[in-house]
Chain A
Amino acid sequence: MRPVVKFFSSVKLAIALIILITLASILGTLIPQGRSAAEYAARYGSLAGLFTSLQLVRLYQSAWYLTLLLLFALNIAVCTAARVGAKWRRAFGPPAPADPQALAAMKVRSRFRLALPLAAARDRVAGPLRSSGYRLAEAAPSKNTTLLARKRRLGWFGSDVVHLGLLIILAGGLTSGLGGRRADLALLEGQTADVPRASFQVRLDKFETEFYPQGGVKAWKSTVTVVENGAPVLTRVVEVNHPLSYRGFSFYQTSYGSDWDAAKVELLVKKAADPSFSRAVSLKTGDRVALDDPDVSHVAVRRFVPDLVIGEGSKVQSRSREPNNPAALVEAWKGEERVFSGWVFAKYPDFGQGHGAAKSPVSFVLKGYAAASFSVLEAAKDPGANLIWLGCLFVTAGLFLAFYWPPREVRVVLEEAQGKVEVTASGQAPKGREAFEAEFNEIFDSVRRPA
């Protein structure tokens, strides 16, 4: 056990780990994380397999990176624990008798005689120290009297508080990683969805996008109602930067869109034999409607794509979710006979690429299209978050303690000699020595020459 503790209590190990974690983290910003295997193959060629097996493509979640963090946590814990006892004794422990010669050799010091009896000399020294905020303790009686004056004693523990905060943050990260749950809920207006692993549901009442007068999105607003046991519990507007919190879950506005798969389409039916003929028909994607026309008995919209492009393998796909190139796959029948099947484009009405469209007795114009908008809410349960905030509080408080609350201590030895008292004082402060020296000199000036 001892060698293990010794290994982990080394600051050199901490420095080695900080350097390793830093280098690994840099590597993770140079290799894009969490992309598809195809993307890595295209980007790195034969190296892609190596990168994947070394877990460089999910580096921050990899076993070896997490091991580094775990070693770092152990290192912090052992280092801090190994040093905190001595600090505690220094800050709060009883003082030991001091050697006046040693004090007189210190950098910040004062030595003089007071023509007073010992008890009066002690009071004379104690007064200005107390009024400067020092707490006094007296060493067990020995040949001389030793006083230890200390202030800002919590300042000794600044770095320990930071380290404790870091451990809490790492524990919070672990808790989030193991117990965190996230799910995207895509909701159409009026739709209700179960929240995974929760006993309640959420309903999207309304979704709207607000724009600035000069253009640009001002806000995405989802009006959301929490439904529990069939009854609405509360209604809130969820926006970016304004999540809804309920029973340990938070709901974030993460995305939005139009439900083009169920687009409502308005078509004009045209006949080759009768140029003046035009008939409007409205239908939903996936529907087949009867037209009651001698030449066209039924029409169906098989598919709607808002931004049609031809992808790999001549596959029709949508380049984006914006209606840049809307197209509908339309089919029409005359009784049992299919008389039309093809894509109809809103922006290119003459682009007849349907199956036999040129010969078809009917054609179509895509006159209108509309889709219900949906909002994507992320439902997140992050049990580590509160630990993170606690850790952040410790880290911040600890840093301010460490840098702006430097402890100070003054040792005074009183020696009786020929009816007088020889006073030897010295002081120590790990930080802010100039300010401390000024205070020290002021205190002992007033001990020597009281006002």
Chain B
Amino acid sequence: MTESTLFTLAFVLYAGALIVYFAGLFARREKWAGGGLGLAAIGFCGHTAALVLRTASSGHAPFTNMFESLSFLSWAVVLALIIFGRKTRVPQLAPYLMLIVVALVALASSPLMPKGAAPLVPALQSYWLWLHVSVTLLGEAFFAVAFVAGLLYLAADTEEKKARLDALAYRAVAVGFPLFTLGGLVFGMVWAYRAWGRYWAWDPKEVWSLITWFVFALYLHTRIVMGWKGKRSAIVAIVGFLAALFTYFGVNYLLAGLHSYA
């Protein structure tokens, strides 16, 4: 199978998982979530194979343009779903997280995204491409979990559900924040120093990743030191993921800078 067939297959399976998840949620059949997870997991395997094939044929890391990085980000969110979705007793998490995955894959599949694998420009020819992008996007995938948990918190009706969602958002940030710090900021600085000769140039993408980092630092400090929980924490987590999204998309399309790859 070719890479694009596998990618399409993953898309179809993710969409199937989405339908099964939501059907189970609305029909109150908790067992259907297992079916959703199964479809998502098979889709994930196909998606993994697509990423491997793309790496093999292009000879470089599969995240050098918007299509590739969207594909990888959606892969990472499915990974976060598989890691978090089973342990947590929040039935709404997986369906809504899958909604984000399907939205990302649909965006990647849109005709607006060029899908060709172009040879790497000199600035991207570095093993730091692997480290910087993969760890950053993995961290952002866990921020997506915190985002969904935050939104669900705002919509939740019982205290028990709220407590679970609050704890879930915190656990997701606890995984995502170190990864984002390491991949986005530390690896980014090391690579910038090697490629551009300066570890920090106040480029809009750099500044926005710092802003994202500050929002999650705020989440942790208000929570751990000042005892914020619940609604206010949920809002900070939501804002944090939106800042991460803006760093990822918005900066490329709205603000000009050095970091013009993806």
Contacts and interface: CB of A to CB of B under 8 A. Distances in A.
**Secondary structure class of chain B's binding surface, majority of residues:** helix
B194 A216 contact: no
B171 to A, nearest CB: 10
B202 A28 contact: yes
Interface stretch (A126-134, A236-244, A311-319): A236-244
Contact of B119 (A216, A242, A254): A216
B255 interface: yes
B256 A399 contact: no
B218 A382 contact: no
Nearest to B124: A241
B82 interface: no
Given A22-B211, A241-B195, A15 B221 contact: yes
Interface in A232-265: 239-243, 250, 252-254
Nearest to B204: A29
A21 B225 CA distance: 20
A26 B44 CA distance: 36
B123 A392 contact: no
A60 B126 CA distance: 29
Nearest to B212: A22
A390 to B, nearest CB: 12
Chain B CB within 10 Å, residue with most, of A212, A241, A250: A241
A378 interface: yes
Contact of B178 (A28, A378, A396): A396
Given A22-B211, A26-B211, A378-B197, A217 B217 contact: no
Contact of A60 (B122, B177, B202, B226): B202
A166 to B, nearest CB: 10
B261 interface: no
Nearest to B126: A241
A388 interface: yes
A403 B178 contact: yes
Interface string A146-181: 000000000000000000000000000100100000
20 contacts: A11-B225, A15-B222, A18-B217, A21-B214, A22-B211, A25-B211, A26-B207, A33-B202, A182-B197, A239-B122, A241-B128, A241-B194, A243-B194, A243-B197, A253-B122, A254-B197, A382-B198, A392-B185, A403-B177, A431-B174
Given A15-B221, A392-B185, 19 more contacts: A12-B226, A15-B226, A22-B214, A26-B211, A216-B118, A218-B119, A219-B122, A239-B122, A240-B125, A241-B128, A252-B195, A252-B197, A382-B198, A385-B193, A389-B190, A395-B186, A399-B177, A399-B182, A403-B174
